[in-house]
Amino acid sequence: MGSLWEEVYIAEPEDQLDVVTGAFSYSGKALAEALVKCGRSVRTLTGHPERAPTDTSIDVRPLDFRDPSYLRDSMHGAHTLYNTYWVRFAHRHTNHATAVENSRTLFRAAQRAGIRRIVHISITNPSLDSPYEYFRGKAEVERALSQVEVPYSIVRPAILFGGPGVLLNNIAWLLRHLPVFAIGDDGSYRVRPVHIDDLARICIEQGARRDDRVIDAVGPERPTFLELVTLIRDATGSRARLVRVPGPVVTGASRLLGVLLRDVLLTSDEYYAMAQGLADTDGPATGRISVSSWIKENAPVLGTRYANELRLHFR
């Protein structure tokens, strides 16, 4: 990745600064670390500045959507904005409509700051007509980005894995602790997991482009959800029985477990969107890391601790 930057920016040595939203969260952290390895200087706009390590080389600024002028000033002098900001589900005073408006504010501030490129992380198969608020909101953010006069790339991952990822880890945790694991319907719907390091690489490659572009970030394997869960169960040595149940049973059980764990395990939109194939694509793989190999390599630690989404982002 370093040679890519040297090739593209050798005539512009002053453009060494990039901005990453959420550089201490999941995808933002992987992206910021990859940029630093490429020799880039990184500034972050973060809703959790208290998470910054004391020895970090990253310039930390609060992500305050209430002050567009501050956002503009915080991005001044940077070449690329890498945007990972979004909300997975509504909580307290934040919902998807708020996240769309916040994203619009961020993009406008980036334009006024003179940002020369925006790389935005979206989701596979967004649609303005989607019955699912998450996917509809993602499409609205993509539309807002296209209306800003800044060259952009939209990167669309499906399911992320690797590092401190939540989804596969918590599936493993449930398989380690429950005698039964519910699979919605027949589990034949496919997913395209992509490793977090692959996502970071794809984003940085897009940051070096000049044209507007939309690209899926998807791994080399397309297991069915049943195959994915079976692989995790076998790798971790779980004896949980996999039981096929109607979709409403899965979403109801997820809500109940969420109450017990003080978390949100799986929203109804997430389940039904996955069951309808929205976590899958027909295009070529852009990620290189195999999810099946990663699960086998990380089986000893996968799911040994539960990752609480609410604690990570809201508490």
The answer on pLDDT for 89 being more than 70 is: no
Q: Per-residue pLDDT for 163 more than 50?
A: yes
Work out the angle at residue 84's Cα, subtended by the Cα atoms of residues 106 and 171, and round it to the nearest 5 degrees. 150
Residue with tokens 């894995």: 161
pLDDT higher than threshold 50 for residue 116? yes
Tokens representing 76 are 């001044």
User: Buried b / exposed e across 163-192, counting CB within 10 Å, b at 16+?
Assistant: eebbbbbbbbbbbbeeeebbbbbebebbbb
> H-type helices in 38-166, by residue range?
68-75, 96-113, 133-146
Looking at 1.10.15, 3.90.25, 1.10.287, 3.90.105, the CATH number of the domain 167-190+221-281+289-313 comes to 3.90.25
- CA dist 234 and 296 (Å) reads 9
Q: How confident is the model at residue 93 (pLDDT cuts 50, 70, 90)?
A: confident
Q: Are 150 and 115 in contact, with CB atoms under 8 Å apart?
A: yes
Query: Is CATH 3.40.50.720 the right assignment for the domain spanning 2-161+194-217?
Result: yes
* Listed residue (112, 175, 118, 165) closest to 141, CA to CA: 118
Residue ranges covered by each domain of the chain = 2-161+194-217, 167-190+221-281+289-313
The DSSP string of 192-249 is: --EEHHHHHHHHHHHHT--S-EEEEE--S---BHHHHHHHHHHHHT--PEEEEE-HHH
- Taking the C-alpha atoms of residue 197 and residue 161, their distance in angstroms, rounded to an integer, is 9
Residue 13, pLDDT score: 42
Residue 98 has pLDDT above 80, yes or no: yes
Tell the residue number behind the tokens 């979709």, with chain if given: 247
pLDDT tens readout for residues 169-193: 999 999 999 999 999 999 999 999 9
* Cα–Cα distance measured from residue 295 to residue 303, given in angstroms and rounded to the nearest whole number: 11
DSSP annotation of 94 reads B
pLDDT in tens, 7-61: 343 334 456 899 999 999 999 999 999 999 999 999 999 988 888 888 899 999 9
Q: How many residues does the chain have?
A: 315
Please determine, for residue 3, whether its predicted confidence score (pLDDT) is greater than 60. Answer: no
User: Exposed, middle or buried by CB within 10 Å (0-12, 13-18, 19+), for 31?
Assistant: buried
The residue with tokens 């512009």 is 12
Cα angle value 13/14/18 (rounded, 5°): 105
pLDDT at residue 7 in the model: 38
